[in-house]
Amino acid sequence: MGKSNKALDNLYLIGMALVVIGFILPMFKVLGQTPNGFKFINFKNSGFCTIGSLMIIAGGIAGLVFNFLSNGSKTLKLAALAASIIGAIVLIIGFNDNVVYKAIGKGLLKHAYIGFYLVVVGWVSAIAGYLKSN
């Protein structure tokens, strides 16, 4: 029973790690391409997609770092998780910037790939881990 308690204590950490891993893996499959989260980052034309993508990965990495450095500060963990989720909302809003992004946005779940699902599962796990720690 002690091992399952240990796993539940690390649920936030596991969730944020899944967000980072999911961001690195292919997130969508559209027009024969499978871009990962980094493909949405474009500093020449930094719009909502760039900002949203940076927020997702920065929130995920910050959540991992805060979990180890801040001795479990709940406020910092919540801020990192919120930044990542808000980044996804900004990214979805930014799908209206480009024709390829519009194709992804119209059928978001239809075009979703393994990275997208890992990010969503990571958020759910991190939320459950955060709520469990309260």
Share the mean pLDDT of the chain.
81
Closest-CA residue to 13 (of 60, 83, 57): 60
Residues 6+ apart with CB under 8 A from 98: 49
**Residue 19: pLDDT above 50?**
yes
55-103 pLDDT, tens digit per residue, is 999 999 999 998 888 666 888 999 999 999 999 888 877 766 655 556 5
> Distance between CA 45 and CA 33 in Å, rounded?
21
69 Cβ partners below 8 Å, 6+ apart?
A: none
**AA letter at 5:** N
Share of the chain above pLDDT 70, in %: 76
CA torsion through residues 30, 31, 34, 36, sign:
negative
Non-local CB neighbours of 62 within 8 Å, separated by 6+ positions:
76, 79, 80, 83
What's the burial of 35, exposed, middle or buried (CB within 10 Å: 0-12/13-18/19+)?
middle
Taking the whole predicted model, whether its pTM rises above 0.75 is answered as yes
Helix axes 2-9, 11-24, angle to 10 degrees: 50
Q: Look at the chain and count its residues.
A: 134
User: Average pLDDT for residues 27-54, to the nearest whole number?
Assistant: 79
Distance CA 105, CA 83 (A): 21
